[in-house]
Chains A and B, each alone.
Chain A
Amino acid sequence: MIGGIGITKTFRQRGGVLGAREVPALRGVDFAIPKGGAVSFIGESGCGKTTLGRIIAGLETCDSGEIVIDDVAMSSLSHRRRQPYFRRVQLIHQDPYSALNPTRTIHQALAAPLALRARQTGRPRSWADERARELLGLVGLDPGYVLPRYPHQLSGGMRQRVVIARALTVDPEVLVADEAVSMIDVSLRLGILALLKDLRERLGVSVLFITHDVATARYIGTDGELYVIYRGQVVERGPVETVISAPVHPYTQALLSAIPVLHGLESPGEQRVVPVEASGEHPDGCLFAPRCPFRTERCERERPALGRDGGMPQEHACFHPERRSVVALPVSRR
């Protein structure tokens, strides 16, 4: 079980006539990734979702707040003693091509971490080769075909499977998939999503799925949890199917309304929400208020906190939560 409490991160931009400018990336985010569970962070670029993923994978530190792995607070450990904990979290990038060394065969890419693993666990060297074949089989690749090849000889989908197999060499508990299918051809995306779902079910690995595409998040598991992040704040959080079918935060509604409708197969949601042109900043107000079509005076004065309010099944950070049906529905055939 991995969780976070009050994760805050501010980036300092240098330059400008007035000196450094502070850009808040995360504003006190709480989260929990249950064992074998599926959690998705949804948001637009710059919302902080990738930074949060990097903090969870131990690649970045937070300014305040705490990451807790198996009841151990990471800040209480030295850098060295933290490493074995963070090794349980493996990050899968967007671009499988840059994640693999182009001068090494797939065999070489998998052999290095597996040899280390064999040494750590006192297994013979031959175990590493066997395990490499086993892992490639697990991610749906033919070891005989893939092992002797270089990354450029494989398709994008195959490369992403290799990256996932490599992440599995250290027996992780959590796979953090950051936009892991956005560079994969459309006809192959679902295969990668199904693989992540399958690994959850077969190995009990948790999946943290970070994406701007809500529909793909659903395919990691309809039993999962969705966190909708806007400018570093979680604005809505709840079961995947609830948040998609009955979103209550206007930002979630705007995000879902923006998904293209397959006219001819689907009819658009009846209450689609289109954000307005941003109008000024309200330093203490709701972060989404400047673009919110439903804002009131209160939203400009006060910032709502994430909580369960107004009898909604999901948590939200909105003073005026209201269910709206914004998602396109299939046209019933005949």
Chain B
Amino acid sequence: MAPEQSPPGARIRGLTVVYRTPAGELPAVSGVDLDLAPGTITGVVGESGSGKSTLALALLNAVQPPGRIAAGSVEIDGLGDVVALGGEGLRRARGRHVGYVFQAAQNSLNPLKTVGKQVLDLGRSHGVEDVRGLLADARDLLGRMGLDGARVLDSYQHELSGGMRQRVGIMLALVLNARLVVLDEPTTALDMITQATILRIVREVHAERGLTTLVITHDLGVVAEVADRLAVMYGGRVAEQGPTREVLAGPRHPYTRGLLGAIPRLVGDIGEAHALPGRPPTLADIPADGCVFRERCPLRMDVCETGRPPVVVSGSRSAACHAVRDDDGDRPAVAAATGEDQA
């Protein structure tokens, strides 16, 4: 069972990750500050190229060449600054302290080994002596997630459905009693009903085992269902963050408003929803100066061309935008997204 200590927190400060390209080193993540408060679920939302997956990898100091962490720190309670760790210490931290459920966990299992064998491999590589105990833990975890644990441990990947494989991925991340868990796109490629089941399991397991959880996704709905806090990323930067319900009810950053206004809903006037103009920037065309969102922004001003937007903090919320004042935030998302803002 999980040890009886408080879950670890994590503090990301000034994190910059660059990738080497023929055009020089380009930042995929640029000057990101983010706190994972102990015992909370934080959701990071972003589109392709927003840097969200790179951020998740940086949390484990697992950015692969041609990428590298160019600046900043990732302090994790009980581990120290992960950016300064290397070699054996880093390897041990992964799995033991930080569990990672990979994007498309459905496809990240070894097709030639049963799930049980993979649990044993994991135990051996982390020097677990009580392998029987480890297998029992694995079985119990799978049972907790509504599966027949013994049967799943004897199964090969192809014998399991997508939703079952995703639960196996979560089990593998937790079986070594990691208390900080990163889930990268935990429900992508799953059906609606399966997605709802997985999200419920993520919430329950998080609470029962006393975890600190980070969920990375492109889907605001997923974050809305599970996360206490929400960070919206765009072009490698955090555009806005705060308590999930507050951000959804009163988004401040024009990108958050636009994103919310672009989600098809089941009720209401469909004419009120609008796609954002333009497209998300890729690594090659993220503007080096000024605001990274300005090309698509309805509130664009001259200062957005040159000045990096200030982080406007109010209470537990913050937004990085020249146009945001700290008393903003009560305007309806949809009206703002259409640019017909009457506030």
Are A275 and B47 in contact, with the CB atoms below 8 A? no
Cβ 8 A contact of B262, one of A190, A218, A331:
A190
Q: Across the A-B interface, give the 5 residue pairs with the lowest CB-CB distance, nearest first.
A: A260-B221, A191-B275, A264-B245, A264-B248, A258-B196
Closest Cβ neighbor of B224 among chain A residues = A262
Cβ of B283 within 8 Å of any chain A Cβ, yes or no, is: no
Residues of A within 8 A of B (CB): 44-45, 155-158, 185-191, 193-194, 212-216, 218-219, 222, 244-245, 254-265, 274-275, 277, 327-331, 333
A260 in contact with B258 (CB, 8 Å): no
Which of A187, A222, A328 contacts B259 (CB under 8 A)? Answer: A187
Are A262 and B270 CB-contacts (below 8 A) given A185-B48, A277-B146? no
Q: Are A327 and B267 in contact (CB under 8 A)?
A: yes
Per-residue A-contact encoding for B209-236, CB less than 8 Å = 1, 0 else: 0000000001111101100000000000
From B245, B263, B265, B333, give the contact of A186 (CB < 8 A): B263
Cβ of B279 and Cβ of A188 under 8 Å apart?
Answer: yes
Residue B191 at the chain A interface, CB threshold 8 Å:
yes
Q: A260-B222, A263-B244 are in contact. Are A218 and B193 (CB under 8 A)?
A: no
Asked if A265 meets B270 with Cβ closer than 8 Å, knowing A185-B279, A254-B193, A275-B193, the reply is no
Quick one: closest A residue to B194, CB to CB? A44
Q: Which of B192, B249, B267, B332: most chain A CB closer than 10 A?
A: B192
| Docked-complex contact A189 and B262, CB < 8 angstroms | yes
A260 to B276, CA, bound (A): 22
Q: Is the CB of B274 within 8 A of A185?
A: no
Q: Is the beta-carbon distance between B245 and A330 smaller than 8 angstroms?
A: no
- B268-305 contact mask (Cβ, 8 Å, vs A): 1 or 0: 10100111100110100000000000001000000000
Q: Shortest beta-carbon distance, B322 to chain A, in Å?
A: 20
Bound Cα distance A263, B245 (Å): 6
Q: State A186–B218 Cα separation when bound (angstroms).
A: 7
A185's closest neighbor in chain B, by CB?
B47
Inter-subunit contact B262/A329 (CB<8 Å)? no
Residues of B313-333 whose CB lies within 8 A of A: 332-333
Give the one of B194, B218, B248, B258 with max A CB within 10 A.
B248
Q: With a CB–CB cut-off of 8 A, which chain A residues contact B333? A: 265
CB distance from B250 to the nearest CB of A (A): 8
Q: Is the CB of B275 within 8 A of A190?
A: yes
Candidates B195, B219, B258; contact of A258 at CB < 8 Å: B195
Known contacts: A244-B266, A328-B266. The answer to whether A186 contacts B192 by CB under 8 A is: no
Kindly state the separation between the CA atoms of A22 and B207 in the bound complex, as whole angstroms. 43
Counting contact residues on chain B (CB < 8 A from A), the size range is: 35 or more
Q: What chain B residues lie within 8 Å of A157 (beta carbons)?
A: 279
With a CB–CB cut-off of 8 A, which chain A residues contact B80?
none
The distance from the CB of A42 to the nearest CB of chain B, in whole angstroms, is 10
Name A263's contact: one of B218, B248, B265, B270 (CB within 8 Å).
B248
Q: Roughly how many angstroms separate A244 CA and B270 CA in the complex, as a whole number?
A: 14
Chain B contacts of A328 at CB under 8 A? 266-267
Is B247 an interface residue when CB atoms closer than 8 A count as contact?
A: yes
The answer to whether B275 and A189 touch across the interface, beta carbons within 8 angstroms, is yes
User: Residue of B at shortest CB range from A254?
Assistant: B193
> Cβ of B192: which chain A residues have Cβ within 8 Å of it?
44, 212-213, 255, 258-259
A186 touches B267 (CB 8 A): no
Within the complex, the shortest CB–CB distance from B136 to chain A, in Å, comes to 23
A123 nearest CB across to chain B (Å)? 34
Docked pose: A44 CA to B189 CA in angstroms: 11
Q: Enumerate B115-142 residues with CB–CB distance to A below 8 Å.
A: none
**B143 CB contacts on chain A under 8 angstroms:** none
Nearest CB in chain B to that of A193: its residue: B264
Which residues of chain B are within 8 angstroms of A193 by Cβ–Cβ distance? 264
B260 at the interface (CB under 8 A from A): yes
Residue picked from B194, B225, B245, B264, most chain A C-beta under 10 Å = B264
- A256-B266, A258-B193 given; 13 more Cβ-contact pairs under 8 Å: A155-B279, A190-B262, A190-B264, A191-B275, A194-B275, A213-B192, A215-B263, A215-B265, A244-B267, A261-B221, A263-B245, A265-B249, A265-B260
User: B297 to nearest A CB, angstroms?
Assistant: 12
A-B contact pairs, 16 of them (CB 8 A): A185-B280, A186-B218, A187-B275, A187-B279, A187-B280, A188-B275, A189-B264, A190-B264, A219-B270, A244-B266, A245-B267, A260-B199, A260-B222, A263-B245, A264-B247, A277-B146
Contact A187 B222 (CB under 8 A): no
Contact A156 B267 (CB under 8 A): no
Q: What is the 8 Å Cβ interface bit string for chain B, positions 139-154, against chain A (1 contact, 0 not)?
A: 0000000100000000
Q: Are B264 and A187 in contact (CB under 8 A)?
A: no
> Is B25 part of the contact surface with A, judged by Cβ < 8 Å?
no
Q: Are B225 and A260 in contact (CB under 8 A)?
A: yes
Interface residues of B in 163-185 (CB under 8 A from A): none
Q: State in angstroms the CA–CA spacing of A193 and B264 once bound together.
A: 10
CB B256 to nearest CB in A, in angstroms, measures 11
Which of A45, A185, A190 touches B218 (beta carbons < 8 Å)?
Answer: A185
Pairwise interchain contact A156-B270, C-beta atoms closer than 8 A:
no
